[in-house]
Structure 1
Amino acid sequence: MQQPVKASFGDYLSQSTSNGGLGLGTINTSIAFLTIILGLVFYLSVNRKRVTVATN
């Protein structure tokens, strides 16, 4: 289910406005997705909770 949704969203961003998209193009859409992914990875790596193992 996720793959068709992601593909449709990517198509919506990259297609020209005459075809019903936003007209960002494939390069700009890829850059946007890469920026979002890297931002999430950075955020999660900086703000993750430290897990410690309790020893008896």
Structure 2
Amino acid sequence: MPPWPEIFVTDHERQHLFDDAVAEYDRLVTGYKDLRYEVKILPKVAVEDRVAFVLRHLC
């Protein structure tokens, strides 16, 4: 799932900034694509809709 500013938080465990999360996401997507994985982007929708999306793409 791409970084989502509306739900992004920093805390004791997650101390990096949102911009760091975006950069890490970009590196991961690029790396997976370079390895020829098909990257599916989880939509920014309600939890139930995200679950349905994942289940549709697992089959």
**Normalising to structure 2: TM-score of the pair?**
0.44
Q: Which has the higher contact order (CA 8 A, sep 6+)?
A: 2
**Normalising to structure 1: TM-score of the pair?**
0.46
Structure with bigger gyration radius = 1
